[in-house]
Chains A and B, each alone.
Chain A
Amino acid sequence: MSRTTSKKRLLGWLADAALILYFIFALFPIAWMVILSLKPTNELFSTYFSFSPTLDGYRTVLGDSEGIPFVRFFVNSLVVSLGAVALSLLVGLPAAYASARWRFKGSENLMFTLLSFRFAPELTVIIPLFVLYQKLGLFDTYVGMIWVLQLVTLPLIVWIMRSYFADLTPELEQAALLDGYSRKQAFFKVAIPLVKPGIAAVSLLAFIFAWNNFVFPLILTSNEAQTVTVGALSFLGGDRPKYNLTAAAALVSVVPPLLLALTIQRYLVRGLSFGAVKS
């Protein structure tokens, strides 16, 4: 065996070892949460890894025995996050397409205004929103939450999809127009299928952002439309911190984004690298 080959192999092992170490480091918080969620309350603060594992934490979280309707909060999160993404796609895809294909007076200003919704801290607008929502009857409703989450999801979808549409060569749609398609047909039958990976990727991102949002559901909902991000904190309690229940609630909350990511994984990888090489 040549010296070069041995050196390469050694470097390969070192790289693998470094990667394993990094994985341990990166995944440790997740592992810690899993351990915590399996601990009984009275063994919660032992620093040793010997404890009697139990699923009681999950039973409590999912069984409403602490008086916290976590399952309802979970369903609420699903409804408002999916609803917000669906509405943003419905409105955002045509907007992204239009902004990628046509320039008109003030179009860039309009796009930056949209982007600025993401920059503005939520707390600066929360009081006026709260008052308006109370007046309009949108407080603590699904519609209200889906609407307000447009501040989170819509700019993301428009801006990311704009770059996808911009990367599509206009000749494809022009060819479709020459073949007798209307502009709408060209959009739905030519442009949209070509950016599907992008739609998958951006939908997932938007869903995660909507799912994780904390301030809007904290202020703009009560019991009816409250989401998991706010509800999970209730398990900390006012008597003793029940970290096992909070960990179980957090892990249950991770399931939908995780499942979604796994389901659309093949689109995701393509989507994220789409447009990396231009013709």
Chain B
Amino acid sequence: MDMHAHDRRRFLALTAAAAATPLLAACGAGFGGDDDKSDGSAADDVTGSFDWKREKGTTVKALLNKHPYTDALIADLKSFTEKTGIKVEYDVFPEDNYFDKLTVDLSSGRASYDVFMLGAYMVWQYGPPGWLEDLGPWMRNSSATGADWDQADFFPNLLQADQWSLKAGAPLGQGGQYALPWGWETNVVAYNTDVFKKLGLKPAETFDELRDIARTIKQKAPGAGFDGMYGIAVRGSRSWATIHPGFMTMYARNGLKDFTVEGGKLTPAMNTPKAVAFTEDWAGMVKQGGPPSWTSYTWYQCSSDLGAKKAGMLFDADTAAYFQAVEGASPASGKIAFHPGPKGPDGSLATNMWIWSLGMNAKSKKKSASWLFLQWATGKEHLLKSAITHNHIDPVRKSIADDAAYKNKMNNLPGFIETFEAVVDQTKIQFTPQAQFFDATTSWASALQEIYGGQGAGSVLDGLAGDLADKVG
């Protein structure tokens, strides 16, 4: 999943990178100055008819995060090698430290990995320094890209999420394509069907109902045979990852923005009267229906509590609930259903998302082979196989989402397909793209904790907006 407590280390690593640059230049280490064309794209060098065997005999090196999607990819790598003659060497690192590793690697300017996993938010961090290859020219070159890759088959909002002009505040979907969507997560509500049945509850259609249900479960479930059950699991740790799933989804459904952009200048908008009222309500929901030690909650605790029947609902990534819901995974397996979650006042199902994407190192010396790998890994054949035989769910391609075998597999989970279809068109990155994203959202999470702790929402969010105006604006 996407939830990494790497902010401090990432900051230090980047600081170290900045400090190291002149030193290395002085000692002739060639920091970041190895190779590469300064103009145009290496994609232009690929001419003639498309050929999967074009780079036969090459070895591509991949940096991967330990994840079920990765397991599915590794299990199918033999097919790629048979198809292309390209060998893939890979390193897999644990999720909690994956981005530390990737950040150090990219910031060093070395081409130790040709391809790697990243999230859409990381494009905002890795894109401006020029660490990511713009994949647009590769996609547009019919000599480099086979017709069966079928760009139009991707959900457009997913492709757009990895596309950016590298200008703070500029909307996504314009500029370079800095990564390709590979697997994703939409943020919805998953709930325990047993407790809903026992207490006569129905999934919430409005935010007010959600808060009521969370409170009701916390008050009544323990007395109805659900020992220690509380209402709703949402993240609460002091991390950027607290903001982006349920909180940002509900925030966006209420028509709220993180920043307003005027003339390229970003102004924090998390302290508008509506935003303050919403944030107060969210903190109130957690107090009245959330877990007792909420401020330490990451996706680990949230999803585990749903699986352990400690949480009546989970407002988080659908995959977080999915991996608890599959047969034999947890005590709540078979008793977890999915729902899009509350609509906004105007009926909006705007939803925030996380995309595990695949990117290419701008310093790679094997870009043509790397592109063939990315093309294969995000192609229909591999992704369909991974979705059906492994757990590579929430397909990035429409053809897989519509595939009968895939639907048949997912239909075992009540409401999963219906929820996916209800939100897919309205799911996008709801944040304003800017390089300080991780610091800004970590501060936002900290503000949320203060409000939960009893401080006035208005003054806390005014303080947050003031701080961010200096940093981001």
Contacts and interface: CB of A to CB of B under 8 A. Distances in A.
Q: Are A and B associated in one complex?
A: yes
Interface of A: 41-47, 67-68, 121, 123-128, 130-132, 134-135, 139, 218-219, 222-223, 230-231, 233-241
16 contacts: A45-B331, A67-B71, A121-B12, A123-B9, A130-B110, A135-B29, A218-B97, A219-B100, A222-B91, A231-B94, A236-B96, A237-B66, A237-B67, A238-B66, A240-B303, A240-B307
B65 interface: yes
A12 B194 CA distance: 55
B113 to A, nearest CB: 9
A127 B310 CA distance: 43
Nearest to A237: B66
B24 interface: yes
B270 to A, nearest CB: 30
B304 A45 contact: yes
Given A47-B228, A134-B112, 6 more contacts: A67-B92, A131-B110, A218-B97, A218-B101, A223-B91, A238-B1
B23 interface: yes
Say what secondary structure dominates the interface of chain B: helix
A221 to B, nearest CB: 9
A132 B29 contact: yes
A131 B19 contact: no
Contact of A236 (B95, B109, B323): B95
B92 A241 contact: no
> Which residue among B17, B65, B69, B333 has the maximum number of chain A CB atoms within 10 Å of its CB?
B17
Nearest to B319: A239
A43 to B, nearest CB: 7
Contacts of B308: 44-46
B74 interface: yes
A132 B24 CA distance: 9
Contact of B304 (A218, A231, A241): A241
Contacts of B71: 67
Given A127-B13, A134-B108, A236-B300, A230 B305 contact: no
Interface string B73-108: 010000000000000000111111100110011011
Interface string B313-341: 00000010001100011110100000000
B68 interface: yes
Contact of A238 (B13, B68, B228, B324): B68
B329 A240 contact: yes
B104 A219 contact: yes
A68 B93 CA distance: 10
Contact of B74 (A67, A126, A127, A130): A67
A130 B101 CA distance: 11
A239 B323 contact: yes
B112 A234 contact: no
Contact of A123 (B12, B67, B68): B12
A241 B331 CA distance: 15
B201 interface: no
A45 B97 contact: no
Contacts of B29: 128, 131-132, 135
Contacts of B30: 135
Interface string B31-70: 1000000000000000000000000000000000111111
Interface string B1-36: 100000001001101110110011000011100000
Contact of A46 (B70, B93, B331): B331
B391 A239 contact: yes
The list of the 10 closest CB pairs from A to B, nearest first, reads A238-B67, A45-B308, A233-B94, A239-B323, A222-B91, A241-B300, A127-B20, A234-B94, A123-B12, A128-B20
B108 A130 contact: yes
Nearest to B90: A223
A46 B23 CA distance: 53
Contacts of B112: 134, 139
Contacts of B100: 218-219
B20 A234 contact: no
A126 B100 CA distance: 11
A236 B67 CA distance: 10
Contacts of B17: 127
Contacts of A47: 228
A45 B302 CA distance: 11
Nearest to A42: B330
A86 B285 CA distance: 58
Contact of B67 (A42, A44, A68, A239): A239
Contacts of B303: 240-241
A234 B92 contact: yes
A132 B97 CA distance: 22
Given A42-B329, A134-B112, A236 B304 contact: no
A103 B66 CA distance: 53
B16 A125 contact: yes
B95 A240 contact: no
A50 to B, nearest CB: 13
A46 B9 CA distance: 33
A126 B92 contact: no
B368 to A, nearest CB: 23
Given A44-B304, A135-B29, A130 B93 contact: no
A239 B95 CA distance: 10
Contacts of B304: 44-45, 240-241
Contacts of A42: 328-331, 333
Given A121-B12, A219-B101, A238-B1, A45 B94 contact: no
A67 B94 CA distance: 12
Contacts of A139: 112
B109 to A, nearest CB: 8
B97 A233 contact: yes
A123 B92 contact: no
> Which residue among B101, B109, B333 has the maximum number of chain A CB atoms within 10 Å of its CB?
B101
Contacts of A67: 71, 74, 92
A117 to B, nearest CB: 16
Contacts of A231: 94
Contacts of A123: 9, 12-13, 15-16
B171 to A, nearest CB: 29
A46 to B, nearest CB: 7
A241 B330 CA distance: 12
Contacts of B70: 238
Given A230-B93, A234-B92, A234-B94, A239 B300 contact: no
Contacts of A44: 304, 308
Nearest to A234: B94
Given A46-B331, A67-B74, A127 B110 contact: no
> Which residue among A125, A134, A223, A240 has the maximum number of chain B CB atoms within 10 Å of its CB?
A240
> Which residue among A41, A67, A132, A222 has the maximum number of chain B CB atoms within 10 Å of its CB?
A222
